[in-house]
Amino acid sequence: MVSQLIFGIVLFGALFLAAVSVRRIVQNIQLGRPERLNDRPGERWRNMLLIAFGQRKMFNRPLPALLHLAVYLGFCIINIELAEIVIDGLFGTHRAFSEWGVAYDLLIASFEWLALAVIIGCTLFLGRRYIVQVSRFSGEEMTTWPRTDATLILTAEILLMTAFLLMNAADRKLQLLSTPPYSVAGSFPVSNWLLPVLPDAPGILAVIERSAWWFHIVGVLAFLNYLPYSKHLHIILAFPNTYFSSLRPKGQLDTMDSVTNEVRAMMDPAGAVPVAETPGRFGARDIQDLTWKNLLDAYTCTECGRCTAVCPANLTGKRLSPRKIMMDTRDRIEAVGANTRRNNGFLDDGKSLLDDYISREEIWACTTCNACVEACPVNINPLSIIVELRRYVIMEEAQAPGTLNTMFANIENNGAPWKYAQADRTNWMRGG
């Protein structure tokens, strides 16, 4: 009963702390402007199943994709067993689902093979980071913490799966020794390999089994509470992020109703439609000016660097890194969210996303080619944030770079970006 009581306190305490963290993230995402993204639900469900669950976009690089799929499915599916562990922990039973018979044997056997796949996959991922040193895992934004975060998660998954297999191996040996309450249940094709190295004394085996059991369940609960502070939150947020991702063609930018109406009014005053509300600010200077989907994108970022690896600006030595845009946005969200909760409303801290987190050099280096959006495994859109920051600089501050000002003047005067008279625009069609 003491063990069950301790387990109950640990379980519900961990769930409570996780709920507090989830509430914090939801509140932070709600700092963004409203945006309706509930049209065409069939396409949205299809995107979520193919991209988030099926990881379709990962398979542009087949080998890393297979490793990632093994780790992802292995870790998620194995944790189905948590339901049995929780029941055993709360009620003092041993393998509560063992009454399923052959189905239970098949389930435990598949869990073991998946656990082995997770260990192999995570080990290879560590090798890619520290031995092969894949270039996209480095960069200005990849400071000590992002690198440590990835290492902690991969190491934790290896330890958790090792504990799972060790728990099963000790359990199996206790079953073979007919030690109560370890009744024969389950099939253990992988953990059977560990039986020869385990002692034969039932008392020591029970200590090993219970230690591995506690390590596994407490480790999973600790992992659950670590996720909200880690890039690995994408394990959860990839699903809503892909569901709510834009269904428009990638080259289509958002328009502003107020600006569109002004243009229509100039071209056809009689056909202009009044806009109900004038925006308080054109573009975005801080995270409150972005939409909630932009903020969800920032929290979903996996920091994998695929976006930066294909960014033409970055490849030509420009400072822009789409991954850094998302990481900086997330850092600013956290700062504004903490400020808002601390002061019961946002108190100006003299900082903003533009300039203090993301420089103007970065936003103007972007070619708006959408390569980063296409490359992202979970449909994150750094370009949307960059465009909103540019809009603020141009429409609120009138501080566009000189080259753009020249182009704007040419469009206004000549109807084209180039500096020649409208009457000469068709000269190229004449003979010669």
Which pair of structure tokens corresponds to residue 25? 């993230």
Distance from C-alpha of 191 to C-alpha of 113, rounded to nearest angstrom:
9
The pLDDT of residue 2 is 84
| β-bridge partners, 354 | 358
| Number of C-beta neighbours around residue 27 at 10 A | 12
The pLDDT of residue 123 is 93
Residue 181 CB contacts under 8 Å (≥ 6 apart), including other chains: 94
Cα distances (angstroms) measured from residue 261 to each of 69, 275, 356, 380: 48, 7, 33, 30
User: Which amino acid is located at 339 in the chain?
Assistant: N
pLDDT digits (tens, 9 = 90+) for 315-347: 999 999 999 999 999 999 999 999 999 999 999
User: For the whole model, what pTM was predicted?
Assistant: 0.87
pLDDT in tens, the chain (432 residues): 788 899 899 999 999 999 999 999 999 999 999 999 989 999 999 999 999 988 889 888 888 888 888 888 777 777 777 888 888 888 888 888 888 888 888 988 988 998 999 999 999 999 988 998 888 888 889 888 888 999 999 999 999 999 999 999 999 999 988 888 888 888 889 999 999 999 989 999 999 999 999 999 999 999 999 999 998 899 899 999 999 999 988 888 877 776 777 777 777 777 666 665 555 688 899 999 999 999 999 999 999 999 999 999 999 999 999 999 999 999 999 999 999 999 999 999 999 999 999 999 999 999 999 999 999 999 999 999 999 999 999 989 888 888 888 888 888 888 788 877 777 777 778 764
- Output the CA torsion sign for 302, 85, 211, 15: positive
Write the secondary structure of 217-283 as one string of H (helix), E (strand) and C (coil). HHHHHHHHHHHHHCHHHHHHHHHHHHHCCCCCCCCCCCCCHHHHHHHHHHHCHHHCCCCCCCCCCCC
The pLDDT of residue 237 is 94
- Going by C-alpha positions, the residue among 396, 416, 392 that lies closest to residue 406 is 416
| β-bridge partners, 291 | 33
Angle at 319 between CA 314 and CA 323, to 5 degrees: 65
Task: Identify whether the C-beta of residue 309 lies closer than 8 Å to the C-beta of residue 135.
Answer: yes
Angle at 196 between CA 3 and CA 103, to 5 degrees: 60
Distance from C-alpha of 39 to C-alpha of 31, rounded to nearest angstrom:
22
Which pair of structure tokens corresponds to residue 375? 């490359």
Set out the domains of the chain in order of their start, with CATH numbers.
7-34+235-246+282-416 (1.10.1060), 55-229 (no CATH)
The pLDDT of residue 376 is 94
The pLDDT of residue 414 is 80
The pLDDT of residue 420 is 78
The pLDDT of residue 427 is 79
Which residues in 45-156 belong to E strands, given as ranges? none
